[in-house]
């Protein structure tokens, strides 16, 4: 029976067999290969000299004597070494050739896919330009001229293109809400500035979430059932609590790091959704099951490669917006939980996110003190807002006013700016004291009150007059807060407690 070396393809003079792969090799060649690489040349598995088994046709055969340096056998040995080196190099080149073929095949596939995407995006160019012009007119922002298809193609690649049905929903919502913008007033029976001045501690719900690691990071209150609220904690848990019964309804687990944001999605007759995002780079969705009365997992969204630092339910109630420190933001369909948009990478990470009440703009805060405002429909940058002459700071929170004209966000480490989006410029900067650190800003639904939470408690200001109406410092640092039903209560989180302030009983 004859066999051949798996490297040279020649009959071996001193054959050995790998005990791991079963391949036959010339001893000289395989020992050189193991010395250089430490692996089996065929399978790539780890291989040592001890794994080689000699193949002997006649064990009694005496080995030849070593040749002298000047003898013909020595010359033959030299030639043999050269042959061995050539065989090893040929084998290495063959492996490299196969690898290059695979890389070339992938590159050709990627190029073909890119050409198809570019062709589709160029067709959407005119629609993107029209949408950008529309949003620029809304905000009185001058649109720079577009100079050619290449620039427009790059912009379209960043936008990615929204499905037609999603664009239709956004446009219908925008038309409906923007038509009512000028007529928006506080609902009948809504709290007045005088009412807010009389707010005092009303109720405290202690010891929520685990004490290790302690702390509630985020809060959301149900609009369908105002006694129920969500909290997200450093203990990686999302908790649903019923204030009317003082009982935990559900503890939702699934995050592997702290939860940074929570939200309800409550829309007509559709099931209530609980949304959360965390430092583990994911967002999760749970749905209320009317049959069992429990919340069941529906989706885990792994779009982003960095911590998710923003989560907002879009005014359509069918979309969710996410922002991340990976320098991108995205939109997701809350019907099938698919991603419908992913932005191109920005120059800076995003540390906060807000959606305009009409649903056409998304604002994101950066660690460089800048707020970038994008058109949701195209992904195009509509405006960049940055205060002048301030030390570096992070825009870790922001909030659009309900009438859509203003945007509140920090403009330094210890002050909050109110931007007039029609200018755009800062209409008012509210100084909070050198030791104050802003954690959260939020407008109420009437756009009459602006709340600011931080390490020294919670303060509420009257919009336009900017009078400080009330200040709560009884619980220490407030990490998040929400205006309650009809503005008659304010819910805030301090440590492991949820505190409620309102009119004295």
Nearest to 370 by CA among 345, 398, 344: 398
34 within some domain:
yes
157 within some domain:
no
Taken in order 6, 11, 12, 15, the sign of the CA dihedral is: positive
Torsional class of 325: left (φ above 0), alpha (ψ -120 to 50), beta (otherwise)? alpha
Q: What is the pLDDT of residue 253?
A: 92
Q: What is the pLDDT of residue 148?
A: 38
pLDDT digits (tens, 9 = 90+) for 58-80: 655 555 445 555 667 777 888 88
159 within some domain:
no
- Could you tell me if 438 and 371 lie in one domain? yes
Number of Cβ within 10 Å of residue 39's Cβ equals 14
- Could you tell me if 271 and 410 lie in one domain? yes
Per the structure block, which two tokens stand in for 461? 């200001």
Q: Helix, strand, or coil here: 251? A: strand
Number of Cβ within 10 Å of residue 56's Cβ equals 10
Q: What is the pLDDT of residue 74?
A: 75
Residue pair 264/272 in contact by the 8 Å Cβ criterion = yes
pLDDT digits (tens, 9 = 90+) for 270-280: 888 999 999 99
29 within some domain:
yes
Q: Where in the sequence is the domain holding 440, given as residue range(s)?
A: 164-503
Residue pair 485/187 in contact by the 8 Å Cβ criterion = no
137 within some domain:
no
CATH number of the structural domain spanning residue 24: 3.30.40.10
339 within some domain:
yes
What is the residue-averaged pLDDT of the chain?
A: 86
- Could you tell me if 87 and 198 lie in one domain? no
Q: What is the distance between the alpha carbons of residues 264 and 442, in angstroms, rounded to a whole number?
A: 17
- Could you tell me if 80 and 202 lie in one domain? no
Out of 92-101, 109-118, 192-201, pick the least confident: 109-118
- Could you tell me if 100 and 186 lie in one domain? no
CATH number of the structural domain spanning residue 464: 2.130.10.10
* CA 342 to chain centroid: 10
Q: What average pLDDT does this structure show over 262-271?
A: 87
118 within some domain:
yes
Beta strands 15-18 and 329-333 are unpaired
pLDDT digits (tens, 9 = 90+) for 98-111: 889 888 888 888 88
- Could you tell me if 293 and 432 lie in one domain? yes
pLDDT digits (tens, 9 = 90+) for 339-369: 999 999 999 999 999 999 999 999 999 999 9
Q: What is the distance between the alpha carbons of residues 382 and 235, in angstroms, rounded to a whole number?
A: 38
Q: What is the pLDDT of residue 154?
A: 33
* Strand residues in 91-246 grouped as ranges (E): 199-205, 216-221, 228-233, 237-242
Q: What average pLDDT does this structure show over 231-260?
A: 93
- Could you tell me if 428 and 493 lie in one domain? yes
* CA 482 to chain centroid: 23
Q: What is the distance between the alpha carbons of residues 157 and 344, in angstroms, rounded to a whole number?
A: 7
Q: What angle do CA 98, 103, 109 make, to 5 degrees?
A: 130
Q: What average pLDDT does this structure show over 359-383?
A: 93
- pLDDT band per the 50, 70, 90 thresholds, residue 155: very low
- Could you tell me if 199 and 77 lie in one domain? no
- Could you tell me if 370 and 436 lie in one domain? yes
Q: What is the 3-state secondary structure (H, E, C) of 114-142?
A: HHHHHHHHHHCHHHHHHHHHHHHHHHCCC
Q: Which of the pair, 491 or 156, is modelled with greater confidence? A: 491
Q: What is the pLDDT of residue 1?
A: 57
Nearest to 491 by CA among 291, 308, 221, 198: 221
pLDDT digits (tens, 9 = 90+) for 294-312: 888 999 999 999 999 999 9
Q: What is the pLDDT of residue 489?
A: 93
Residue pair 460/442 in contact by the 8 Å Cβ criterion = no
Q: What average pLDDT does this structure show over 176-195?
A: 80
Q: What average pLDDT does this structure show over 71-94?
A: 85
Nearest to 304 by CA among 334, 265, 332, 274: 332
Q: How many domains does the chain have?
A: 2
Q: What is the distance between the alpha carbons of residues 441 and 478, in angstroms, rounded to a whole number?
A: 11
Q: What is the distance between the alpha carbons of residues 272 and 264, in angstroms, rounded to a whole number?
A: 7
Q: What is the pLDDT of residue 134?
A: 61
Q: What is the distance between the alpha carbons of residues 370 and 486, in angstroms, rounded to a whole number?
A: 33
Helical segments of 180-294, H only:
193-197
pLDDT digits (tens, 9 = 90+) for 9-58: 888 888 999 998 899 999 999 999 998 888 898 888 899 999 999 987 66
Q: What is the pLDDT of residue 56?
A: 79
pLDDT of 220 > 80? The answer is yes
- Could you tell me if 106 and 201 lie in one domain? no
Q: Which of the pair, 110 or 2, is modelled with greater confidence? A: 110
Strand partners, 262: 276
Q: What average pLDDT does this structure show over 414-428?
A: 92
- Could you tell me if 74 and 198 lie in one domain? no
- pLDDT band per the 50, 70, 90 thresholds, residue 441: very high
Q: How far apart are the first and last CA of the chain?
A: 101
Any residues with CB less than 8 A from the CB of 210 and at least 6 apart, and which?
Answer: 233, 235, 237
206 within some domain:
yes
Q: What is the distance between the alpha carbons of residues 256 and 114, in angstroms, rounded to a whole number?
A: 35
- Could you tell me if 488 and 356 lie in one domain? yes
Q: Which of the pair, 146 or 287, is modelled with greater confidence? A: 287
């Amino acid at each position: 029976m004859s066999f051949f070396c798996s490297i040279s393809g020649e009959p071996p003079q001193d054959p050995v067999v790998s005990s791991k792969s079963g391949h036959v090799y010339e001893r000289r060649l395989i020992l050189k290969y193991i010395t250089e690489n430490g692996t089996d040349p065929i399978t790539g598995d780890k291989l040592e000299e001890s794994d080689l088994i000699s193949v002997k046709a006649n064990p009694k055969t005496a080995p030849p004597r070593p040749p002298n340096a000047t003898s013909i056998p020595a010359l033959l040995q030299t030639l043999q070494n050269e042959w061995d080196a050539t065989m090893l190099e040929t084998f290495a080149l063959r492996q490299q050739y196969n690898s290059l073929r695979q890389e070339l095949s992938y590159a050709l596939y990627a190029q073909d896919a890119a050409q198809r995407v570019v062709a589709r995006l160029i067709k959407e160019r005119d629609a993107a330009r029209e949408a950008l012009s529309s949003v620029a007119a809304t905000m009185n922002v001058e649109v720079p001229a577009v100079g050619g298809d290449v620039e427009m193609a790059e912009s379209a690649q960043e936008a990615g293109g929204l499905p037609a049905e999603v664009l239709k929903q956004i446009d219908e919502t925008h038309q409906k809400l923007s038509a009512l913008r000028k007529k928006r007033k506080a609902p009948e029976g809504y709290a007045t500035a005088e009412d807010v001045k009389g707010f005092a501690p009303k109720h405290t719900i202690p010891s929520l979430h685990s004490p290790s690691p302690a702390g509630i990071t985020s809060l959301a209150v149900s609009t369908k059932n105002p006694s129920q609220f969500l909290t997200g904690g450093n203990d990686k848990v999302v908790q649903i609590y019923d204030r009317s019964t003082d009982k935990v309804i559900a503890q939702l687990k699934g995050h592997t790091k702290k939860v940074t944001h929570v939200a309800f999605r409550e829309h007509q007759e559709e099931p209530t959704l609980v949304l959360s995002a965390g430092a583990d780079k994911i967002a999760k969705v749970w749905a209320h099951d009317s049959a069992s009365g429990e919340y069941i997992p529906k989706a885990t969204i792994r779009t982003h490669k960095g911590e998710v630092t923003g989560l907002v339910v879009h005014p359509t109630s069918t979309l969710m917006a996410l922002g991340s420190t990976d320098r991108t933001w995205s939109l997701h369909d809350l019907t099938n939980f698919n991603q419908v948009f992913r932005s191109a990478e920005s120059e800076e990470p995003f540390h906060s996110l807000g959606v305009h009440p009409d649903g056409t703009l998304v604002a994101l805060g950066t660690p460089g003190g800048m707020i970038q405002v994008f058109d949701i429909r195209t992904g195009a940058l509509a405006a960049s807002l940055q205060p002048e002459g301030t030390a570096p700071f992070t825009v870790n929170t922001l909030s659009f006013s309900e009438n859509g004209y203003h945007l509140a966000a920090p403009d330094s480490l210890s002050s909050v700016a109110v931007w007039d989006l029609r200018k755009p410029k800062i209409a008012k900067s509210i100084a909070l004291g050198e030791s104050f650190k802003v954690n959260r800003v939020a407008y109420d639904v009437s756009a009459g009150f602006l709340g600011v939470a931080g390490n020294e408690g919670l303060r509420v200001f009257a919009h336009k007059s900017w009078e400080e109406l009330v200040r709560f410092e009884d619980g220490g640092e407030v990490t998040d807060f929400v205006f309650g039903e009809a503005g008659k209560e304010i819910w805030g989180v301090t440590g492991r407690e949820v505190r409620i302030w309102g009119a004295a009983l």
